[in-house]
Amino acid sequence: AQKVTQAQTEISVVEKEDVTLDCVYETRDTTYYLFWYKQPPSGELVFLIRRNSFDEQNEISGRYSWNFQKSTSSFNFTITASQVVDSAVYFCALSTGGATNKLIFGTGTLLAVQP
Amino acid sequence: NAGVTQTPKFRILKIGQSMTLQCTQDMNHNYMYWYRQDPGMGLKLIYYSVGAGITDKGEVPNGYNVSRSTTEDFPLRLELAAPSQTSVYFCASRDQGTPGTQYFGPGTRLLVL
């Protein structure tokens, strides 16, 4: 069975704090893809990053960084020096690719950044 | 380049009414998907299509139907609306040459009363 767990339902931080959003996944497939999407208050889903199972390199994009660890089946997302504009629901998702490439979503983490 | 567009943005239906949620993409993507998002939950797959004329059920297909007559359009049909179908519906598409990355439309908020 495939599953994505985001144990943190809500996180509240003050602007400029660093924050890490946790994501733990389950799959028996050796080839899979992991994603993070951002859903701001306006409601749309914005793609942030994709990682495949063969690439465990951490990635940094500006204030965003991602830590992929196959040993713990985790794909955590860190925002450095958070800003109010980072306030959103963040979803982690898993896909095993193939012909259908269905996405399995976690339940999301609501991040509130206070000024 | 508009990406994935959805209409309407918001709709109120009475129980038993029917409606079609429209989804169009202009990226020439083969794969298209319909998801629903219930409050406090992640997205769940309703139906998907791997190309024109080919559709298949996802995790929660009951109460819905789809068709895919063109590459661009993937409408979702609700035949007999029920309160349990109150949700936000997202359409997504992806290119076969970009495995894994789905791009989403802005969503349709549906309220069934």
Amino acid at B14: K
Residue A3 β-bridge partners: A26
Place of tokens 């970009």: B98
Q: What is the pLDDT of residues A16-47, one digit of tens each?
A: 999 999 999 999 988 899 999 999 998 899 99
Q: What is the pLDDT of residues A40-76, one digit of tens each?
A: 998 899 999 988 888 877 888 899 999 999 999 999 9
pLDDT of residue A52: 86
Scanning A47-106 for CB atoms below 8 A from B yields 47, 50, 52, 91, 93, 95, 97, 99-103, 105-106
Residue B32 — pLDDT band, cuts 50, 70, 90? Answer: very high
What DSSP character marks residue B27? S
Q: From A80, A36, A38, select the one nearest A62 (Cα to Cα).
A: A80
Angle at B101 between CA B97 and CA B106, to 5 degrees: 125
Q: Which of A43, A97, A102 sits opposite B45 (nearest CB)?
A: A102
**CB contact A33 to B (< 8 Å):** yes
Share of chain B above pLDDT 70, in %: 96
Q: Would you call B43 and A91 a contact, using CB atoms and an 8 Å cutoff?
A: yes
Share of chain A above pLDDT 70, in %: 97
Residues 6+ apart with CB under 8 A from B97: none
CA distance B39 to chain A (A): 10
CA distance A50 to chain B (A): 7
Angle at A100 between CA A97 and CA A103, to 5 degrees: 65
Whether B30 and B95 have beta carbons less than 8 Å apart is answered as yes
